[in-house]
Amino acid sequence: MPLSALVLALSVVGLCARGTAALRDEPAILRRACPDYVAYASAPHAPYSGGPLNLPSQRPATECRTFNSSLVEQVIEDVTSRMIDKDLAQLFRNAFPNTLDTTIRWHVDGSTTAARKGKKDAQWEGPQSFVVTGDINAEWLRDSTNQLANYQALAKRDESLYNLILGAINTQAEFVIQSPYCNAFQPPPPSNIPPTSHGQNDQVHPAYEPSVVFECKYELDSLANFLALATEFHENTGSTDFLTNRWYTALNTLLQVLDAQSQPTFNDESQYITNQYTFQRTTTLGTETLNLAGIGNPLNTGTGLIRSAFRPSDDATIMGFFIPANAMMVVQLKKTAEMLRSAGGSSNSDLAKNLEDRSTRLHRAIQDHAIVNHPKYGNVYAFEVDGYGSHILMDDANVPSLLSLPVLGFVDQDDPVYKNTRAMILSKDSNPYYLAGSAFHGIGGPHIGLENAWPMSLLIQAMTSDSDDEITRCINLVRDSSLLGLVHESINVNNIRAYTRPWFAWANSVLAQTVLKIAAERPALLFGEGARPYVP
Ligand SMILES: *[C@@H]1O[C@H](CO)[C@@H](O)[C@H](O)[C@H]1NC(C)=O
């Protein structure tokens, strides 16, 4: 995910500089106790695992953690006490709470500002949660939904987690209302945390307010993730507390974007029409801006697909009909419809019907325009298409990806087209971004470059596999490349010690989700022969 290595380096320097300034007048004990987590995560800490890799313990000191949950501590204890592999147990111990430990930059439970239930009409009323990606002090819609996915199953039993996720839905709704085309956001005004800048001078339409928006790359999956945060919460808790006027306004705003981004480049009279969204950055990196003066490549009319200007890696799409995000939108529109229907009421039922129709049409559009015949693998899903018949066959590690389609709920793992696609994208001969070297291999992407594969892709590979052997190989590769006890963004395929992003919360959440899925479905792999399944 985000930003070039250069920007990342600058922002890390920025964080350190701010940290030093803020702490200058504080007692020495505090300065020592709560170091900047980028620095903390970059060096190993005791106690060590005692396994062959002797992985370090990387949780911040208790008083430095950004959120506490005794239920999360209980899950860590339940899982790690049974795990045979001490290094993998240490990785889970660090990774599972990483979002709570380090990224809840601001949270209010709402009890003082407004009733938690009922009709919330005003901005920033009720519970709110600002969840940063890690080393950058901004919230990505996609990252934060995935970071919290870990805790959804616990929210029903832990009121503090319930309020944390409810707050995150409310906060995302404010972001979507304000700037539905944007991917990353600044701390909310009531937090009084100052905004930061990524230092780029972007020309974007529609214009945005830089005190609210950190970056404004239009990524269709950001909006699907806004829906996913609520549908997952509803599935796990049965709650409809987030169905406020603000949330409905956000949903309406989202639907307007879907309509605008379903428009082709040329109208029925063959006249060129400018897309509502354009983005230009002054950069030497082709993936960080859109060609044709910020418009992106032409897309054909009548496909029913929805454009995405950027990918979940924050790299520009080559062809704007990016299929994994369309697939995620199919699923989330349908789940949102089901959720609204279960909430009851005639307006919810009308809205549900509208969303269901959109989902059905979009699903058909994918079947009609995104399945192509590959000479070796047969029918496969394309990564991107343009509606003119051109397509791109590849996969990128970032989720939503083609590899993750079953995890997203779009297809069954046994779906024949998915199986063909999976075989294609896990092959070095067919996926240009399947990267392999002497030390590491997996799917990468253009974002970090051609020598770095991403642990996240191996975790998704494990979650979409039927084979104990493949699952074990993937997990072990991630374990062996996480020598600082946390999951990184990417790993150099020839040198496991060369990695990007010491503090990348999303990847740690995916590790935890993978371990919990194996614990529930294949307990023997973690706990030994004959072990009972573990479900938190
Ligand atoms: C978490 O608990 C520790 C120990 O009780 C405390 O020092 C810290 O302030 C708590 N953190 C939050 C965010 O509540």
Residue 66 CA to ligand 1 center (angstroms) comes to 7
pLDDT band at residue 15 using 50, 70 and 90 as cut-offs: very low
Ligand 1 near 68 CB (within 6 A): yes
**pLDDT at 418 > cutoff 70:** yes
Residue with CA closest to ligand 1 atom 8: 63
Tokens of 119: 């009709």
Residue 70 CA to ligand 1 center (angstroms) comes to 11
Q: Average of pLDDT values for 219-234?
A: 98
Q: For all residues of the chain together, what is the average pLDDT?
A: 93
Looking at residue 302, its pLDDT comes to: 85
Residue 65 CA to ligand 1 center (angstroms) comes to 6
For 394-410, the pLDDT digits (tens) are: 999 999 999 999 999 99
**pLDDT at 6 > cutoff 50:** no
DSSP run (H or E) holding 166: helix 159-178
Q: Ligand 1 pocket test: which of 62, 103, 164 has the largest number of ligand atoms within 8 Å of its C-beta?
A: 62
**pLDDT at 489 > cutoff 70:** yes
Q: Using CA atoms, how far apart are residues 460 and 404, in angstroms rounded to an integer? A: 6
Q: What is the dihedral of CA 97, 102, 103, 106, to 10 degrees?
A: 110
Q: Which amino acid is at 463?
A: M
pLDDT band at residue 155 using 50, 70 and 90 as cut-offs: very high
Q: Ligand 1 pocket test: which of 64, 65, 106, 160 has the largest number of ligand atoms within 8 Å of its C-beta?
A: 65
**pLDDT at 193 > cutoff 60:** yes
Ligand 1 atom closest to 63 (CA)? 7
Looking at residue 274, its pLDDT comes to: 87
**pLDDT at 100 > cutoff 90:** yes
For 32-77, the pLDDT digits (tens) are: 568 999 999 999 999 999 999 999 999 999 999 999 999 999 999 9
Residue 400 CA to ligand 1 center (angstroms) comes to 34
**pLDDT at 471 > cutoff 60:** yes
Ligand 1 near 62 CB (within 6 A): yes
> Residues 228, 172: contact at Cβ < 8 Å?
no
Looking at residue 120, its pLDDT comes to: 67
Q: Vertex 145, ends 325 and 127: CA angle to 5°? A: 140
Q: Using CA atoms, how far apart are residues 323 and 382, in angstroms rounded to an integer? A: 7
Q: Average of pLDDT values for 446-454?
A: 97
DSSP 108-160: E-STTTS-SSS---STT-S-EEEE--BSSSSEEHHHHHHHHHTTGGGTTT-HH
Looking at residue 112, its pLDDT comes to: 59
**pLDDT at 350 > cutoff 90:** yes
Least confident of 24-33, 59-68, 97-106, 109-118: 24-33
Residue with CA closest to ligand 1 atom 7: 63
Ligand 1 near 106 CB (within 6 A): no
**pLDDT at 513 > cutoff 90:** yes
Residue 160 CA to ligand 1 center (angstroms) comes to 13
Q: Using CA atoms, how far apart are residues 343 and 239, in angstroms rounded to an integer? A: 9
Looking at residue 285, its pLDDT comes to: 96
Looking at residue 32, its pLDDT comes to: 56
Looking at residue 119, its pLDDT comes to: 55
For 258-292, the pLDDT digits (tens) are: 999 999 899 888 899 889 999 999 999 999 999 99
Ligand 1 near 70 CB (within 6 A): no
- Predicted model pTM: 0.93
User: What does the DSSP 8-state code read for residue 199?
Assistant: -
**pLDDT at 22 > cutoff 70:** no
Q: Using CA atoms, how far apart are residues 401 and 507, in angstroms rounded to an integer? A: 14
Ligand 1 near 529 CB (within 6 A): no
Query: Closest Cα to residue 128, out of 77, 180, 179, 185?
Result: 185
Ligand 1 near 65 CB (within 6 A): yes
Looking at residue 110, its pLDDT comes to: 83
Tokens of 173: 């709704």
For 428-446, the pLDDT digits (tens) are: 999 999 999 999 999 999 9
Ligand 1 near 63 CB (within 6 A): yes
Ligand 1 atom closest to 62 (CA)? 3
Residue 69 CA to ligand 1 center (angstroms) comes to 10
pLDDT band at residue 456 using 50, 70 and 90 as cut-offs: very high
Cα distances from 480 to residues 211, 224, 455, 483, in angstroms, run 41, 33, 10, 7
**pLDDT at 127 > cutoff 70:** yes
Looking at residue 12, its pLDDT comes to: 36
